[in-house]
Structure 1
Amino acid sequence: MIVVIGGGPAGRFAAARLAQAGREVVLVEREAIGGQCLNSGCMQVCALNDAARTMERAGEFAAAGVLDGVPHLAFPALLREMGAVQRTIRGVLDRETRAAGVEVRYGATARVEGRKVFIDDEEVETEAVVIATGSRPAVPPLPGTDLSGVYTARTLRTMPGLPAHLVIAGGGVSAVEFAYIFSRLGSQVTLLARRNLLGGLDPGLRRLARKELAGVEVREHAPLTRIVGTTRVEGARYGGEASGECDADAVLLAVGLVPQTSMVTGVEKGPHGEIIVDDQMQTSVPGVYAAGDAAGPPYLTPLARLQGVVAAENILGHEMKYAPRAVPQAIALANDLAFCVEDGDDDEIALSLPAPAGPGSFWSVPKGDTGMGKILVDPETGVLRGVWAASPGAGITATYLAEAMRRKMTVFDLEDLIEVHPLADGVHGLFAQAARLIREREADNKPPESGPGTR
């Protein structure tokens, strides 16, 4: 028997692959299948962002006289119906997992002590174990985090109503996505970032993100230091050079994730509790594997799935190494801000253009916010090395261009691309420009041909 602990993307993919290969597999899930992605992460953001974009577009139509006013948002109903859809998806995942031949045990607890595995405190014999216990939202050790009105992504669904003034602590992707969502749903939002907002992101996308956060009060280099209140939230204090205090009736902590591995001992761990693994996802103990958020950042669902498959293949005796490259990512605001970039040289060619108006962005023309497209190209070979896109479907653009990057496709391969029209993507028109620029550079640098009368 093989035990998989955790029913998120990593655990589910590992369990299904092992069961499809004919192995007896038990998947232990203490709470709900689907993991953080479905229950408090990606899908929750999708649900709330859809509502936020709808409210923003309704506001634009109302301002233009197209709609007679902005519809009222029933926030409790939004959370209730979001939960209903999540339950439907959990049912689908449960059926798919069982159909693969996996035995699923809900409500059970599991722990690992070196090579020993316990389910509900009973030791079980295992051929191998895959630890895919996921992560939890980080809660900083600050005064006031135990007050009523303090939330994380995991407890957000318990909000009784839309906060009038929400303080969000964090400066990364999750904090920015929630700032956009709640500002468009109707809250006054203050975002407290410990450092620069979205530090490390391409400057062009970062400028667009700031533009799409119009109406959000963003305070950079202002770390949350204390949540103020007696029994419930009344305000928040922050540090930094411009330290101060702001009113709030709710605080959302979006300061990162922490691997959830307290139930695992006897294996090597990192400073934040992440389980140390090799490129086959095996831990320091033979036969014990870890995958997904339990193995540490970058906490991305597609990589968690891949890690689960790598662990399963190696348990089956099929050597497979975890070595991802050209990994696309996206931030969901009014547009998707998507990107995929590989390390390169400083002399690479960078080209960018505003995105054209198209599906989902036509009505953004008056405010000059149709998005952008940018590519990074090797000047010698024309190989695509990076892509940045901001548009309603930029995540799809980045997905397929990341595959082009993995296959080392060049702008010469892509310059004759014919797109569906109309398309709100600003990237597709850049390939021909980059190819032409490289050809012109080559022509300028080409020595003159020798012939009669030349020396």
Structure 2
Amino acid sequence: MILVIGGGPAGRFAAVRLGNAGREVLLVEKGAIGGQCLNYGCMAVCALNDAARHMQRNREFAAAGILDGAPEIHFPALLGGMDRVQEKIRAVLDQETKNAGVEILYGSTARLDGRKVFIDGEEVEAEAVVIATGSVPAVPVVEGISLPGVYTAHTLPRMETLPGDLVIVGGGVQAAEFAYIFSMLGSRVTVLARSAFLKGLDPRLRRLALKELKDVDIKECAALNGVNGNERVESVSYGGNESETCRADAVLLAAGLVPNAAMIEGVEKGLKGEVRVNDRMETSVKGVYAAGDVTGGPFLTPVARLQGVVAAENILGIDRRFDPAAVPQSISLANELAFCTAGDDDGVEFSVPAPAGPGSFWSVPSGDTGIGKIRVDRESGEVRGVWAASPGAGIIATYMADAIRHRRTVHDLDGLLDVHPIPDGVHGLIGYAASWLRDHPKE
């Protein structure tokens, strides 16, 4: 029997791969199948972002006289509807996993100590183990952090009413996505970023993000010092030695994730508690593998899925390695802001405003259709980076990331025929870049 601990993307993909290969697999899941992505992360953001974009568009239509007034959001109904859809997806994943021949044990806790495995305190024998226990929200240790009204993505579904004043703690992707959502739903949102907000993001994408978050009060270099209140949250304190205070009906902690590895002992770990693995997803203990968020960042579902498959195939005796090069990412605001690079800054850059198309036609008056940008190697024409902001930027970034990994050139892709209309500017840049490189050979 092969034991998989955790039913998120990494564990489920590992279990299904092993089950489809005819192996006996037991998947232990303490909570709900689907892990961080389905229950608290990607799908929750999709659900709430859909509603936020709808509210934004309705207001724009009302301002243009196309609609007679804009509707109000019914926040409890939104969360309730989100949960019902998530439950349906859980049922699909459960059946899909069982159809692969995997036995799922819900509501139980698995613990590992080196090569010894315990389920609900009882030791069990396993031919191999895949640790896929995921991650949990990072919670700062400050006074008042346990007050009612302080939420993480895991506890957000318990929020009973839409906050009038919401403070979001964090300066990365998650903080930006929730800031957009709640500002569009009607909250007054303040973001406290410990350092710079969306630091490391391409400057043009960052400017677009800030434009889409124009109604959000973003405070940089503003570390959370404490949460204040009696029976529930009333305000937060932030800043340096001279701490400032701002009002808050609720606080949402969105300062990232940390590996969920407290129940894992006897294997080598890193400084942040992550389980260390090699490129076969093997831990320091023979026969014990790990995949997904528990191995450390970048905490992305596609990465976790691939790592789960790599672990499973090595258990099956197939030599497969995990290569994390050119991983596409995106931020969901009014547009998708997607990007992927080869990890260097060399090359010639080409950029253009994104054209109007599905989801962006009505953004033309405000100039918010987005951008397309690529970086190309000056000599070979290899694609070295892509940045896109549009309603479907994540799709173009996915395929351009594959081009980066396989060292495809703009000459290879020249003549690409797109589906028209398509609201992204990247596809048009490919042919232009190929022509420019032919007309301007490197001396």
Larger deviation, residues 408-417 vs 109-118? 408-417
Stretch deviating more after TM superposition (167-176 or 18-27): 18-27
Matched, 1:410 2:400: no
Once the two structures are overlaid, the 10-residue window that deviates more, 414-423 or 264-273, is 414-423
Matched, 1:25 2:9: no
Distance 2:25 2:5 in 1: 11
Q: CA deviation at 1:196?
A: 0.8
Q: Establish whether residue 153 from structure 1 lines up as the match of residue 148 from structure 2.
A: no
Task: Using the TM superposition, give the Cα deviation of residue 33 of structure 1 relative to its aligned residue in structure 2, in angstroms.
Answer: 0.2
Q: Partner of 1:301 in structure 2?
A: 301
Q: How does 1:183-262 map to 2 (within 5 A)?
A: 183-240=183-240, 243-262=243-262
In structure 2, the partner of 1:120 is: 120
- Looking at structure 1, the residues matched to 241 and 224 of structure 2 have their Cα atoms a distance apart, in angstroms, of 13
> Counterpart in 2 of 1:323?
323
1:397-422 deviation digits (Å, cap 9, x = unpaired): 10111112222111112221121111
Once residues 370 and 143 of structure 1 are traced to their aligned partners in structure 2, the CA distance between those partners, rounded to angstroms, is 43
Cα distance, 1:339 vs structure 2: 0.4
Q: CA deviation at 1:241?
A: 8.0
Q: How does 1:109-188 map to 2 (within 5 A)?
A: 109-188=109-188
TM-score under structure 1 length normalisation: 0.96
Q: Which amino acid aligns with 2:250?
A: A
Distance 1:201 1:94, change over 3 A: same
- Residue aligned with 2:419, SS: coil
Matched with 1:95 is: 95
Question: Which amino acid is 1:167 matched to?
Answer: V
The superposition leaves residues 116-174 of structure 1 with CA deviations (integer Å, 9 ceiling, x where unpaired) of: 00111111111000000000001100111110100000000000010000000000000
- The equivalent of 1:61 in structure 2 is 61
Partner of 2:427: 428
Matched residue type, 1:86: Q
Contact 1:180 1:333 (8 Å CA) reproduced: yes
Structure 2 residue matching 1:91: 3-state secondary structure: helix
SS in 2 for 1:429: helix
Task: Give per-residue Cα distances to partners, 1:210-229, cap 9 Å, x unaligned.
Answer: 00001000111111111111
State the SS of the aligned residue for 1:117. Answer: strand
Residue type at the aligned position of 1:407:
H
CA contact (8 A) 1:222 1:242 kept: no
SS in 2 for 1:389: strand
Other structure's SS at 1:326 match: coil
Sequence identity percentage: 66
CA distance in 1, matches of 2:72, 2:343: 47
Q: Give the superposition deviation at 1:324.
A: 2.5
Residues 1:105 and 2:105 aligned together: yes
Q: Secondary structure in 2 aligned to 1:366?
A: coil
Structure 1 stretch displaced more, 180-189 or 309-318 = 309-318
Q: Which moved more, 1:316-325 or 1:274-283?
A: 316-325
User: Larger C-alpha radius of gyration, 1 or 2?
Assistant: 1
Query: 1:269 is paired with a residue of what secondary structure?
Result: coil
Q: Which residue of 1 aligns with 2:365?
A: 366
Letter in 2 for 1:379: R
Q: Is the 8 A contact 1:4 1:130 kept in 2?
A: yes
- SS of corresponding position for 1:413: helix
Alpha-carbon shift at residue 344 of structure 1 (Å): 2.8
Aligned pairs for 1:327-342 (under 5 A) are 327-342=327-342
Amino acid paired to 1:16: V
What is the CA-CA distance between 1:331 and the residue it aligns to? Answer: 0.2
Q: Tell me if the contact between 1:222 and 1:243 (Cα under 8 Å) persists in the aligned partners.
A: no
- CA offset digits 1:24-72 (Å, max 9, x no partner): 1000000000001000000000000000000000000000010111111
Q: Equivalent residue for 1:267?
A: 267
Is 1:380–2:360 an aligned residue pair? no
Cα contact 2:326–2:343 (8 A) shared by 1: no
Name the SS for the 2:167 alignment partner.
strand
Structure 1 match to 2:394: 395
Which has the higher mean CA deviation after the structures are superposed, 404-413 or 328-337?
404-413
How far residue 343 of structure 1 moved from its aligned partner, in angstroms, is 2.1
Deviation of residue 188 (structure 1)?
A: 0.3
Q: What amino acid is the match of 1:355? A: A
| Mapped partners of 2:296, 2:165: distance in 1 | 33
- Contact conserved, 2:225 with 2:243, CA < 8 A, in 1? no
Whole-Å separation in 1 of the counterparts to 2:75 and 2:345: 48
Separation in 2, partners of 1:72, 1:370 = 26
1:47: which partner in 2? 47
Unaligned runs of 5+ in 1: 446-455
SS of 2:426's partner is coil
Superposition deviation, residue 242 in structure 1: 7.6
Q: Within 2, Cα distance between the matches of 1:349 and 1:135?
A: 38
CA RMSD after TM alignment: 1.0
Cα deviation for residue 244 of structure 1 reads 1.2
